[in-house]
Amino acid sequence: MKKLKFSTDEGTEFYKELTEQVDLYFDEKGIERTGNNLFKFKMFMYFSLDILFYYLMITSESLLWFYVFYLFMGLAVLLTAFNVSHDAAHGVAVKSKFWNKVLFQISFNLQGNNAYVWGKNHNKSHHLYTNIEGSDIDVLNNPIFRMTETQELRWFHRYQWIYAPFFYLLYSLNWFFLREALMLFNFTSRTINIHIPKNEVVKLIVFKLVYISYMIVIPALLLPFGWGNVLIAFLLNHFIVSLIFVGVLGVSHVSDHVSHPRPTEDGKMDMSWPMLQMCTSVDYNSDSKFFNWTLGGFNAHAVHHLLPRISHVHYLGILPIFRDVAKKHEMVYMEMPYWQSVRSHFRFLKKMGKNVKLERLVYEG
Compute, in degrees rounded to 10, the torsion defined by CA atoms 358, 361, 363, 365. -140
- In this prediction, residue 357 has a pLDDT band, given cuts at 50, 70 and 90, of confident
- In this prediction, residue 279 has a pLDDT band, given cuts at 50, 70 and 90, of very high
| pLDDT for the residue 362 | 83
- In this prediction, residue 189 has a pLDDT band, given cuts at 50, 70 and 90, of low
| pLDDT average, residue stretch 311-336 | 96
- In this prediction, residue 94 has a pLDDT band, given cuts at 50, 70 and 90, of very high
| pLDDT average, residue stretch 64-82 | 95
- Per-residue pLDDT of 115-165, as tens digits, reads 877 777 777 788 888 998 888 777 767 789 998 888 889 999 999 999 999
Q: Is pLDDT of 188 > 80?
A: no
Query: What backbone phi and psi angles, to 5 degrees, belong to 149?
Result: -70, -25
Q: Is pLDDT of 337 > 70?
A: yes
Domain layout of the chain by residue ranges = 10-354
Count of helix runs (H) and strand runs (E) in the chain: 17, 2
| pLDDT for the residue 273 | 96
Q: Is pLDDT of 72 > 90?
A: yes
Contacts of 301-305 with C-beta under 8 Å, sequence gap 24+, read 301/252, 301/253, 302/277, 302/278, 302/333, 302/334, 302/335, 305/127, 305/130, 305/277, 305/281
- Per-residue pLDDT of 169-183, as tens digits, reads 999 998 888 877 777
Q: Is pLDDT of 241 > 80?
A: yes
Average pLDDT of the chain, as a whole number: 90
| pLDDT for the residue 150 | 87
User: Quick count: other Cβ atoms within 10 Å of Cβ 236?
Assistant: 15
How many angstroms separate the first and last alpha carbons of the chain? 34
Return d(Cα 310, Cα 95) in angstroms, integer: 11
Identify the three-state secondary structure at position 116: helix
